[in-house]
Amino acid sequence: MMNRALELIQDKKFAEARAAVKEMNPVDIAALFEELEPEQTVMLFRLLPKETAAEAFAYMTPEVQEQVLSALTDVEVQTVLDSQFMDDTVDMLEEMPANVVKRVLRLTDSETRGMLNRLLNYADGSAGSIMTTEYVDLKQDMTVRQAFDHIRRTAGEMETINTCYVTDRNRILEGVVTVRELLMAEENTLLGDVMEKEPLSVSTDESDEEVAQLFSRYDLLALPVVDRENRLVGIITIDDAVDVLQDANTEDFEKMAAMAPSENTYLKTSAFTHARKRVVWLLVLMISGVITGNIISHYEDAFAAIPLLVSFIPMLMDTGGNCGSQSATLVIRGMALDEIRPRDFFRVVFKEFKVSILVGAVLAPVNILWIWLRYQNFWIALTVGLSTLVTICVSKLMGCILPMAAKRCHLDPAIMASPLITTIVDACSIFVFFNMALLILKV
Amino acid sequence: MMNRALELIQDKKFAEARAAVKEMNPVDIAALFEELEPEQTVMLFRLLPKETAAEAFAYMTPEVQEQVLSALTDVEVQTVLDSQFMDDTVDMLEEMPANVVKRVLRLTDSETRGMLNRLLNYADGSAGSIMTTEYVDLKQDMTVRQAFDHIRRTAGEMETINTCYVTDRNRILEGVVTVRELLMAEENTLLGDVMEKEPLSVSTDESDEEVAQLFSRYDLLALPVVDRENRLVGIITIDDAVDVLQDANTEDFEKMAAMAPSENTYLKTSAFTHARKRVVWLLVLMISGVITGNIISHYEDAFAAIPLLVSFIPMLMDTGGNCGSQSATLVIRGMALDEIRPRDFFRVVFKEFKVSILVGAVLAPVNILWIWLRYQNFWIALTVGLSTLVTICVSKLMGCILPMAAKRCHLDPAIMASPLITTIVDACSIFVFFNMALLILKV
């Protein structure tokens, strides 16, 4: 579908292109815009029915949005803005250069402008920054019939009507009622009698990730956002919560691989930015690698006497690193999903200790056996085997303790992930190994 | 709230406990049940209003559900089943032992039993396995008023009424219509004129992760599921899609840390199961560590001549491993989010190459400088510096190529993550390092 539309545009068969694109989903139309040359972008935008174009606009990347905006007339920009939801306009403005923001704000009426300015002021990553102000606002003393009249009149401008909000004359949130509950109630019932009182709500400065977790935990479709006086200022809808959830997961993946989180998709980020986001941790970890190296050089006599010892270093380091990242990943993920809480500290540590013993009981004998068979030296085999066991225990314990400790210090547990743990565990395993060698092999 | 309720129950103040629990969210009530002793569980369940108890039941863990079910009378079980949505009952039955499943199926009427059996037959991980059959089913020739009458009559049993489905007499899916569109339409309009035709739908055997991605991409609240003849057989709602998304992310985290995915939460999984899920990869990776060790032992002469060389091994191995996991993580995540596609192969490889050069341009000189300054030997410093640069390039390229190659071979890219890449990169970096030493230092 998309490829055909693209061909038609490139062949300049505009009437046919228009017909093909019109049938597409706005999300796919937005993706199609990504593929076009700048001059084609504006042309196609004008070809489309106004409503379709405006709907697709909300899903475009900031680059394409900027292209389109700068080529449209003031009247056209106004049409686009009118048909957009407030939260989408805010998302867009956050990415635009100052001159575009200025123009957009100039083209909106003063009420909308005030609202946009307020929304733009909420800190990035707060509930306020992802909420919208287009919700159905009802009163307790309305009847169900009056509520429906109100909904019918305003539905076109609302982000959702599936959940409606009941406020008093000071905009204090009093309750929520779903359209389903309204449909099932008698026409003359008062909203005060059908609404759910004391609904779950969040404040504007709540973190957006916490909000997203609430959606996931309570199976919500929308959540009211209130200010300090419990006045309703906006709502957050599930589509935005899902985006936050996905972004939070991506960020955790990045942090756990020792990178600063990126704001953009992989391909849209320049090589220079990629390098900048990765090089700091690499430098830090390289220096920790040097420390491990220093430990090794203390034992030059040992591996001068038995050079074979050196060849076990990679295996021990890898095993330690892998064990540590297994534990760290499970604990970090468990805490992110709220399945592991601070009070579970000792349960987790004890469980990881048991797991270490079980895993060590498999890996250590395997090592002892093959080294013994291959090098015909039981004592070297025993040295490596016991070092494997100790390395596994140390790395699994580090892997679970460090992220939980980070959380307790209000740091992000994800930075305590594999790479950092690996370097710490490396130093430990080398230390254990050579001391074991000194002890058992008397080198 | 939860702690107070728990205290009241433990103090046997049941009337007060009932009052406190009644006000809680069903999700929190279910969490409260987790904290109780088995005999308290059933007691509290009976204390609660039937509807509240049944609602909380859907959110309980299988262990608690089984406890409750086995203690309830047949009539009580029927009440619970009647008030549950079909997809929740199916989720529950999938976790219950055979005798409980038998009892539950015996207690449902034959129509429900047929439906449950059909739903239970869909493969785990398919769209069919997460769908529900309780959707609003309308016809094209109904007027909007008739549609509302139908919705009012059946709303109580439906998982959602926000989106309704229009089918023909053979149950072929013809369109969807939202309750908002119905509210905004004239009462006498025919549904055929307001519904959206050819709606997005998935087939029962579509993978649930693909389905969840559709929800995220198109901002959906519900999605119809059809069989091969395009007959509507069920719908999937956003809450289940979010669960799938979260599970898929957890699975990726686990695979990327070299573990087999777990079915249960961290604390609910026994130490033995944890060990089993981790030991296989650890063994495989340990053996690859042995290979790297073998490479090292080929260069015994080199480090016999210059023992200092050994102390750079951890730093090189760590840097290579970290570079590789950075690239692998970004590429795997990018593919999971559909931001990186097969056709982007060369763009990604080229970008990673540029990033390697940039990162190497920082790390290599740092290494050369401090080693030169500290050991007063420029040639050793140069050897390590150049090896760092080559290691970074090799590991970044491996890190992006291997996951994309896995995807092309229809393997899960996540298994090509950090640990596997680390061990491959280890061998490469050791090989490069010692050959560089042979070349430059002539050892």
Residue B157: CATH number of its domain: 3.10.580.10
Task: Report whether B48 contacts B22 (CB < 8 A).
Answer: yes
Residues of B whose CB is below 8 A from A319: 282, 285-286, 289
What own/partner pairs with CB < 8 Å and gap ≥ 24 does B94-100 have?
B94/B120, B94/B124, B95/B62, B95/B65, B96/B62, B96/B65, B96/B66, B96/B69, B97/B66, B100/B66, B100/B69, B100/B70
Do B292 and B221 fall into the same domain? no
Task: Report whether B395 contacts B429 (CB < 8 A).
Answer: yes
CB burial readout B290-317, b (16+ within 10 A) else e: bebbebbeebeebbeeebbbbbbbbbbb
Q: Name which of A334, A358, A426 is nearest B314 (Cβ-Cβ).
A: A426
Does a structural domain hold residue B257? no
- Per residue, what are the HEC states of chain B? CHHHHHHHHHCCCHHHHHHHHHCCCHHHHHHHHHCCCHHHHHHHHHHCCHHHHHHHHCCCCHHHHHHHHHHCCHHHHHHHHHHCCHHHHHHHHHHCCHHHHHHHHHHCCHHHHHHHHHHHHCCCCEHHHHCECCCCEECCCCEHHHHHHHHHHHHHHCCCCCEEEEECCCCEEEEEEEHHHHHHCCCCCEHHHHCEECCCCEECCCEHHHHHHHHHHHCCCEEEEECCCCEEEEEEEHHHHHHHHHHHHHHHHHHHCCCCCCCCCCCCCCHHHHHHHHHHHHHHHHHHHHHHHHHHHCCHHHHHHCHHHHHHHHHHHHHHHHHHHHHHHHHHHHHHCCCCCHHHHHHHHHHHHHHHHHHHHHHHHHHHHHHHHHHCCHHHHHHHHHHHHHHHHHHHHHHHHHHHHHHHCCCCHHHHCHHHHHHHHHHHHHHHHHHHHHHHHCC
Beta-strand relationship, A173-178 and A163-167: antiparallel
- Look at residue B442 in the predicted model and tell me its pLDDT: 82
Do B361 and B429 fall into the same domain? yes
Report residue B145 as tokens: 């008023």
pLDDT tens per residue across all 443 residues of chain B: 667 788 888 888 888 888 888 888 888 888 888 888 888 888 888 888 888 888 889 889 888 888 888 888 888 888 888 888 888 888 888 888 888 888 888 888 888 888 888 888 888 889 998 998 889 999 999 999 999 999 998 888 888 889 999 999 999 999 999 999 999 999 999 999 999 988 999 999 999 999 999 998 898 999 999 998 899 999 999 999 999 998 888 888 888 777 788 778 888 888 888 888 888 888 888 888 888 888 888 888 888 888 888 889 989 988 988 898 888 888 888 888 888 888 899 999 999 999 999 999 999 999 999 999 999 999 999 999 999 999 999 999 998 999 999 888 888 887 776 677 777 888 888 899 999 999 998 87
Task: Report whether A228 contacts B296 (CB < 8 A).
Answer: no
Optimal mutation site among B333, B354, B392, B426, interface A, most CBs of chain A within 10 A: B333
The contacts of residue A83 (CB under 8 Å, 6+ apart) are: A50, A51, A54, A55
Which chain A residue has the Cα nearest residue B354?
Answer: A271
Q: What is the mean pLDDT of residues A364-384?
A: 93
Report residue A275 as tokens: 């390098």
Task: Give the three-class secondary structure for A186.
Answer: coil
Q: Cα torsion for B147, B150, B154, B156, to the nearest 10°?
A: 60
Which CATH number characterizes residue A98's domain?
1.25.60.10
Helix axes A271-297, A418-441, angle to 10 degrees: 20
pLDDT tens figures, A307-354: 888 889 989 988 988 898 888 888 888 888 888 888 899 999 999 999
How many helices and strands in chain A, by DSSP H and E? Answer: 22, 7
Across the interface, whether the CB atoms of B367 and A286 are under 8 A apart is answered yes
Q: Cα torsion for B332, B335, B340, B343, to the nearest 10°?
A: 100
**Domain edge (last residue) among A121, A154, A188:** A121
The tokens 């608690």 sit on which residue?
B64
Report residue A253 as tokens: 């993946």
Across the interface, whether the CB atoms of B339 and A267 are under 8 A apart is answered yes
In angstroms, rounded to a whole number, what is the distance separating the alpha carbons of residues B10 and B28? Answer: 17
Do B141 and B60 fall into the same domain? no
Q: Cα torsion for A155, A159, A163, A165, to the nearest 10°?
A: -80
Residues of A whose CB is below 8 A from B218: 25, 27
Task: Give the three-class secondary structure for A360.
Answer: helix
Number of structural domains found in chain B:
3
Region of B258 (left: φ > 0; alpha: ψ -120 to 50; beta: rest) is left
Do A366 and A292 fall into the same domain? yes
Do B219 and B364 fall into the same domain? no
Task: Report whether A277 contacts A259 (CB < 8 A).
Answer: yes
Do A8 and A87 fall into the same domain? yes
Task: Report whether A429 contacts A316 (CB < 8 A).
Answer: yes
In angstroms, rounded to a whole number, what is the distance separating the alpha carbons of residues B215 and B204? Answer: 16
Across the interface, whether the CB atoms of A322 and B285 are under 8 A apart is answered yes
Do A426 and A388 fall into the same domain? yes
Report residue B40 as tokens: 């308290």
**Domain edge (last residue) among B237, B259, B284:** B237
What phi and psi, each to the nearest 5 degrees, are found at residue B32?
Answer: -60, -40
Residues of A whose CB is below 8 A from B257: 322, 325-326, 328-330, 418
Does a structural domain hold residue A167? yes
Range of the domain at B116: 2-121
Helix axes B50-57, B26-34, angle to 10 degrees: 70
CA geometry: angle B154, B157, B160, nearest 5 deg: 90
Closest CA to B384 of B321, B326, B327, B311: B311
Report residue A417 as tokens: 């992930």
- Look at residue A410 in the predicted model and tell me its pLDDT: 85
Closest CA to A368 of A360, B391, A107: A360
Residues of B whose CB is below 8 A from A430: 314
In angstroms, rounded to a whole number, what is the distance separating the alpha carbons of residues B264 and B96? Answer: 14
Q: Is the complex ipTM higher than 0.90?
A: no
Does a structural domain hold residue B251? no
Do B206 and B101 fall into the same domain? no
Task: Report whether B396 contacts B327 (CB < 8 A).
Answer: yes
- Look at residue B251 in the predicted model and tell me its pLDDT: 85
Across the interface, whether the CB atoms of A307 and B312 are under 8 A apart is answered no
Closest CA to A246 of A261, A228, A235: A261
Residues of A whose CB is below 8 A from B242: 215-216, 238, 242, 245
Does a structural domain hold residue B243? no
Distances (CA, A) of A426 to A296, A356, B189, B409: 11, 17, 72, 34
Distances (CA, A) of A211 to A200, A241, A348, B206: 11, 7, 27, 30
Do A278 and A177 fall into the same domain? no
Does a structural domain hold residue A263? no
Do B289 and B409 fall into the same domain? yes
Residue A150 pLDDT more than 90? yes
Task: Report whether B326 contacts B397 (CB < 8 A).
Answer: no
Q: Render A111-161 in DSSP notation, one character per residue.
A: HHHHHHHHHHHSPTTBHHHH-BS---EE-TT-BHHHHHHHHHHHGGG-S--
Residue pairs between chains A and B whose CB atoms are closer than 8 Å: 329
* Shortest distance, CA B25 to any CA of chain A (angstroms): 8
Optimal mutation site among A184, A215, A274, A416, interface B, most CBs of chain B within 10 A: A274
- Look at residue B1 in the predicted model and tell me its pLDDT: 61
Report residue B85 as tokens: 């949505």
Q: How large is the greatest C-alpha to C-alpha distance in chain A, in angstroms?
A: 95
Mean per-residue pLDDT over chain A, rounded: 88
Closest CA to B310 of A406, A296, A437: A296
Does a structural domain hold residue B31? yes
Does a structural domain hold residue B248? no
In angstroms, rounded to a whole number, what is the distance separating the alpha carbons of residues B256 and A254? Answer: 12
Across the interface, whether the CB atoms of B310 and A297 are under 8 A apart is answered yes
pLDDT band at A1 (very low <50, low <70, confident <90, very high): low
Q: Cα–chain-centroid distance for residue A33?
A: 26
Which CATH number characterizes residue B388's domain?
1.10.357.20
Q: Which residues pair with B222 in a beta bridge?
A: B237
Do B311 and B434 fall into the same domain? yes
Distances (CA, A) of A239 to A242, A350, B270: 5, 40, 36
What's the alpha-carbon Rg for chain B, to the nearest Å?
30
pLDDT tens figures, A203-216: 999 999 999 999 98
Do A102 and A213 fall into the same domain? no
- Look at residue B110 in the predicted model and tell me its pLDDT: 83
* Shortest distance, CA B55 to any CA of chain A (angstroms): 12
In angstroms, rounded to a whole number, what is the distance separating the alpha carbons of residues B135 and B177? Answer: 12
Task: Give the three-class secondary structure for A402.
Answer: helix
- Look at residue A178 in the predicted model and tell me its pLDDT: 93
Which chain B residue has the Cα nearest residue A346?
Answer: B267
Residues of A whose CB is below 8 A from B213: none
Does a structural domain hold residue B325? yes
